[in-house]
Amino acid sequence: KPATRKSAKKILESGMSIGISPGGVSEIFDTNNNDEVIFIKERKGFVKLALMTGTPIVPSYCFGTTKLFSCWYGQGDFLRKLSRKVGFGVVLVWGRFGLPIIHRYPLTTVSGAPIFVPLEKQPSQKMIDEYHLLFLTELKGLFDRNKAAYGWADKELVIR
For strands 36-38 and 157-159, give the pairing: parallel
Return the SS3 of 35: coil
Q: Residue 75: what pLDDT?
A: 75
Q: Residue 41: what pLDDT?
A: 94
pTM for the full predicted model: 0.88
**Residue 24 predicted with pLDDT over 80:** no
Q: Which three-class secondary structure string do you get for 101-137?
A: CCCCCCCEEEECCCECCCCCCCCCHHHHHHHHHHHHH
Angle of helix 45-53 versus helix 5-13 axis, rounded to 10? 30
Over residues 75-128, the pLDDT tens digits come to: 778 887 888 788 788 878 889 999 989 999 999 999 999 999 999 999 999 999
